[in-house]
């Protein structure tokens, strides 16, 4: 597919997963001559609503069981409360999005954020020549992902299809390989990555991270792993408090290297023998590099579903978040880990082929 067609990626700034997915899609589109732009649906809410939404979500995750209750009883089923909140938010987004699309029409909109998907679907009739694709990497998309006015749903697991058909039996759903940013397909081999990062060859090394928010007691886990003889590349993401805690650990334990927000995740994964992380898009990145996973059970709601799916895919273990549990499970996972392959385990061509075939089927 060639030509200067225009695509809009509609993301949402809650964590980094949505932005990473949007970036992967944009990269594939641009490689075939498309013009792309990405908008943040949360910012389209206007005022302080975008930051308030993130604060509410963080607060819910901070209370054990609260987001589980809301997700499984309200979001997944589409309770009156969840639907009312979604309708109010997507109306505000749609008002602002309409002005943008009137000025800069798009041939294709890919929504990778549930509330954004609803806003675009509300506008679909206004732009009959525009195709709307909704892309959800959760294995059980909840009710707020599913709308009329959507030409195609992209998912990365077969089990996600019936979750969508539950609410819209006539929907067109296509399973595609999970996309990651281009840098993960061209990551260096382990020896080169370790040389660049100063990690000794032949010694055990784990990458420790938990999304952009750094969920869970990572500092204690980094300390315990370092004390157990494992070299730890510990990434705090955007969590400034965790970044300071990890810096303190690194000052006491020389096997721990503390990092804040980093754009070198492909290199860090390549250097590691094991990736310790929460369930999410980081798992697809680690599988692309070819590293086994130790999953921290710290993400409630959709995170529980995604964790179970990663275990089903294999080459993964799960741990509770306590430092002792993480260390015990990590040492066992390192004992089982196979020698790192020379290059990435997944090819970009696999994702590209599935992506473009799906778009072609949807008339894009």
The pLDDT of residue 2 is 46
Average predicted confidence (pLDDT) for the chain:
92
The pLDDT of residue 123 is 96
**DSSP string over 225-262:** HHHTT-EEEEE-TT-HHHHHHHHHHHHH-TTEEEESS-
CB burial readout 224-256, b (16+ within 10 A) else e: bbbeeebbbbbbbbebeebbebbbebbeebebb
pLDDT in tens, 91-104: 999 999 999 999 99
The pLDDT of residue 14 is 76
Highest mean pLDDT among 48-52, 64-68, 283-287: 283-287
- What residue spans define the domains of the chain? 6-180+348-361, 186-336
Q: Do domains 6-180+348-361 and 186-336 have the same CATH topology?
A: yes
- Whether the per-residue pLDDT at 215 is higher than 50: the answer is yes
State the CATH architecture for 6-180+348-361: 3-Layer(aba) Sandwich (3.40)
Check if CATH label 3.40.50.300 holds for domain 186-336. no
pLDDT in tens, 312-322: 999 999 999 89
Beta bridge partners of 109: 8, 132
pTM above 0.85, yes or no: yes
pLDDT band at 53 (very low <50, low <70, confident <90, very high): low
- Whether the per-residue pLDDT at 118 is higher than 90: the answer is yes
């Amino acid at each position: 597919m060639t030509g200067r067609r225009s695509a809009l990626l509609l993301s949402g700034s809650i964590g980094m997963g949505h932005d990473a997915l949007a970036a992967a899609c944009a990269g594939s589109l641009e490689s075939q001559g498309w013009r792309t732009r990405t908008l943040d649906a949360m910012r389209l809410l206007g005022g302080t609503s975008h930051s308030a939404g993130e604060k509410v979500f963080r607060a819910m995750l901070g209370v054990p069981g609260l987001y589980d209750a809301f997700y499984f009883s309200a979001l997944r089923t589409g309770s009156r409360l969840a639907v009312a909140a979604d309708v109010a938010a997507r109306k505000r987004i749609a008002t602002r999005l309409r002005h943008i699309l009137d000025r800069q029409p798009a041939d294709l909109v890919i929504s990778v954020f549930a509330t954004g998907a609803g806003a675009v679907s509300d506008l679909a009739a206004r732009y009959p020549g525009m195709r709307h694709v909704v892309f959800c990497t959760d294995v059980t998309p909840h009710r707020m992902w599913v709308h009329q006015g959507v030409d195609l749903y992209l998912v990365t697991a077969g089990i996600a299809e019936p979750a969508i058909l539950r609410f819209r039996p006539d929907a067109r759903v296509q399973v595609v390989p999970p996309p990651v940013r281009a840098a993960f397909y061209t990551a260096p081999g382990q020896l080169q990555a370790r040389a660049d990062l100063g990690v000794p060859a032949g010694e055990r090394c784990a990458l420790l991270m938990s999304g952009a928010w750094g969920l869970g007691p990572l500092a204690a886990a980094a300390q315990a792993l370092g004390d157990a003889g494992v070299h730890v590349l510990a990434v705090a993401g955007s969590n400034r408090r965790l970044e300071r805690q990890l810096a303190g650990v690194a000052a006491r334990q020389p096997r721990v290297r503390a990092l804040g927000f980093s754009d070198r995740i492909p290199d860090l994964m390549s250097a590691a023998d094991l990736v310790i992380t929460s369930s999410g898009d980081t798992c697809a990145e680690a599988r692309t590099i070819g590293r086994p996973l130790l999953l921290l059970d710290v993400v409630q709601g959709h995170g529980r579903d995604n964790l179970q799916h990663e275990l089903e895919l294999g080459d993964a273990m799960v741990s509770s978040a306590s430092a002792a549990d993480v260390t015990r499970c990590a040492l066992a996972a390192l004992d089982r880990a196979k020698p790192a392959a020379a290059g990435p385990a997944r090819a970009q061509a696999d994702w590209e082929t599935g992506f473009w075939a799906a778009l072609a089927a949807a008339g894009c």
